[in-house]
A and B are shown apart, each in its own frame.
Chain A
Amino acid sequence: MTATTLTASDAAAAPAERTLPLKTRLQRAERRKKLLHLALIAPLAVFLLLTFLWPIGALLKRSVDNPEVIGGLPATAAALEHWNGQGLPPASALAVFVKEMEGARGSTELASAAKRLNTEMTGYRSLIMKTARSLPLPDGSNLQEGLAAIDPRWSEPRTWQVMASAGQPYTSYYLLAALDHAVDADGAIVAATEDQAIYLDVLGRTFWMSLVVTLCCLVLGFPLAYLLTSLPTRSSNLLMILVLLPFWTSILVRVASWIVLLQSGGLVNQALQALGLIDEPLQLVFNRLGVYIAMTHILLPFMILPLYSVMKGISPIYLRAAQSLGCPPFQSFWKVYFPQTLPGVFAGSLLVFILSMGYYITPALLGGPQEQMASYFIAFYTNETINWGMAAALSTVLLGATLLLYVVYSRYAGQGRNAAKAR
């Protein structure tokens, strides 16, 4: 279609151009064609840049942004820039601080600066509030002594060092916190204290749950994909509809169904009790098991489709050749057939793993607090505690892990994906 228009424009080319050497004309036509194709891609590229890439970039930048102290005490932050960090800051910097504190008393900016300082050093918030209340200092008094009289902590270098470092435009605080680390008084990176070290646990849980779901999908998806390949087209098309129907059904519909099925009076418990396998209903939902079952159900088609498309391309002749050469059936399956399915196994597993790492809805509706994955905490810090730095840092870590896997995926499994999506 595009080339059609090109042929037309070529035919209508000015006669003057006809006199040019063929090579030049060809080059021009090629260049025009290339520009046209880029012009076709451009609208989408610009659209995604403005509505997707830019917002995500801005979010990632928030994970190193440090706006609170600069916003609450800008002149002090600037004055401390010139301080070498040894002993106490010069009197000029103290004067700037005292003057600024007097002016900022009661402002929301000062409150958020104090909150930010408190994350670096416990007790800083009350120190700031107390100092702001006690100012101004009596006329003509020594600034250093006056501040020390309000609170002795003002004569400790550590207090000012924290203020100076929190007054930097960028911070590694949130990213380190997302990996359960922090910068200590000497500027060294150390492991966070036990009550603050929760994020590695969350990330580990996200990885572990994704891994379990991926393995469940592989174990269930492989035999089914194999059956679909070995059946005649008509029946395999029919069964494929049974695979695709859940794929097309709303995730919320499926989550609701699983609650109905797995609840204590649900069909699964009723069936198990009727079979005499259990006496009391089992707790199957609102725990880890329920999340695993529903996530496996939701992601299974993403495993089956790439597996199917790879298996479809494997000629049955190899298997027959192996058997005719005397290889026992199971061994020929394992040594001849299975290795050929590996591209599909990798493509499907990576896809399922990548998708499950970002899951939010299913754990939120079917799990307890112990089942919440990284996404839940990102949403939590955005909506509940309005700690955007922490939400951004966790996003950075999760996105980093996802993109790393996505690079591997698109390098090794690009073909399988296209085939699967084309269905």
Chain B
Amino acid sequence: MLQAYASPLERTWFYAHRVIAGLILLFLILPILVIVPLSFNSDSFLMYPMAGASLRWYEEIIGSDVWRNALLNSLIVSPAATLLAVVLGTLASIGLVRSDFPGKALLTAILISPMVVPVVIVGVAMYLFFAPLGLAGSYTGLILAHAVLGVPFVITTVTATLQGFDYNLVRAAASLGANPVLTFFRVTLPLVAPGIVSGGLFAFATSFDEVVVTLFLASPGQATLPRQMFAGIRENISPAIAAVATILIVLSTLMLLTLEWLRQRSEKLRTGKSR
């Protein structure tokens, strides 16, 4: 905050900093703001000024078998991969947080390493490994691969939540006569659930945006939404791409708002006061 006794130089710097930060925020948000209006363009050019407003590109993608199929594939693969990542990741996080053994740090680093291994290497390795097993070009292979990529996000969010979990609350519930099952559902789960849901959202977003591993593993008929966008951008970038992009932006905004809501809710629960 600017103090009342700040010198003119400090004042200048204070406002300059705000302007610079504002420009950086503009840089971050501009690409998202720019593409949304273009999806309503009546013209077939992705350029401003727009010729007029229409919904023709939305009609086109809704009527297109290719895009419908891509959406269907994404809706098969991503939820399944998320479920797998959340179940395995949550169990492992509980084990990691509540225990201490030699090599725990190393094991944790290995479990979250899919986040840092270059994704092309993951794609090539899985392709060469899955192909002889008949898993390349199968939904099973894609789901397994996407789950691997989502696991690190589940682990980091769930362990962070569990580390902040006050174990005295469980003891308090037990001392007040609640049985373990009741304690779990009435005390532990409400406090930990936001972390698990956030982890799940991260895993879902990872899978829903995954294109590189999909490029290697998916058969032509299994192109997911991002895979189809990749092809679209590469071949001929049209307002139809902008329409898909707009739908994806709406979806990611919803996910982000859910996440923020969860975060604030869990903070409120934990500190016992509203902000």
Q: Chain A interface (Cβ within 8 Å of chain B)?
A: 1-5, 7-8, 33-34, 36-41, 43-45, 47-48, 51-56, 58-59, 62, 220, 223-224, 226-227, 230, 233, 237, 239, 241-246, 248-261, 263, 265-267, 270, 297, 300-301, 329, 354-355, 357-358, 360-361, 365, 374-375, 378-379, 382-383, 388, 391, 395, 398-399, 402-403, 406-407, 409-410, 417-419, 421-423
Contact = CB atoms under 8 A, between A and B. Distances in A.
B209 A250 contact: yes
Given A39-B95, A40-B91, A256-B233, A360 B209 contact: no
B234 interface: yes
Contacts, number: 284
A4 B184 contact: yes
B88 A43 contact: yes
Nearest to B36: A257
A253 B212 contact: no
B82 to A, nearest CB: 14
Given A220-B24, A246-B31, A421-B160, A43 B120 contact: no
The 6 A-B residue pairs whose C-beta atoms are closest, nearest first, are: A358-B118, A40-B95, A257-B31, A55-B129, A37-B99, A422-B160
Contacts of A410: 105, 109
B110 A239 contact: no
A224 B24 CA distance: 7
A329 B13 CA distance: 10
A35 to B, nearest CB: 10
B263 interface: yes
B145 A51 contact: yes
Contact of A258 (B10, B31, B99, B212): B31
A376 to B, nearest CB: 8
B18 A256 contact: no
B245 interface: yes
B233 A255 contact: yes
Contact of A245 (B29, B105, B123): B29
Pick the most buried of B117, B145, B156: most chain A CB atoms within 10 A of its CB. Answer: B117
Given A45-B92, A382-B124, A423-B263, A242 B129 contact: no
Given A37-B95, A44-B88, A237-B260, 7 more contacts: A1-B184, A227-B18, A257-B245, A260-B46, A260-B242, A365-B233, A365-B234
B159 interface: yes
B170 interface: yes
B38 interface: yes
Contacts of A360: 118-120, 212
Interface of B: 1, 7, 9-10, 13, 17-18, 20-21, 24-25, 27-32, 34-35, 38, 46-48, 88-89, 91-92, 94-96, 98-99, 101, 105, 107, 109-111, 113-114, 116-130, 144-145, 147-148, 151, 153, 156-157, 159-161, 167, 170, 174, 180, 183-184, 188-189, 192, 205, 208-209, 211-212, 215-216, 226, 229-230, 233-234, 237, 241-242, 245, 248-249, 252-253, 255-256, 260, 263, 275
B91 A59 contact: no
Interface of B is mostly: helix
A383 to B, nearest CB: 8
B17 A223 contact: yes
B180 A4 contact: yes
A4 B170 contact: yes
Given A51-B145, A245-B29, A245-B253, A58 B128 contact: yes
B180 A358 contact: no
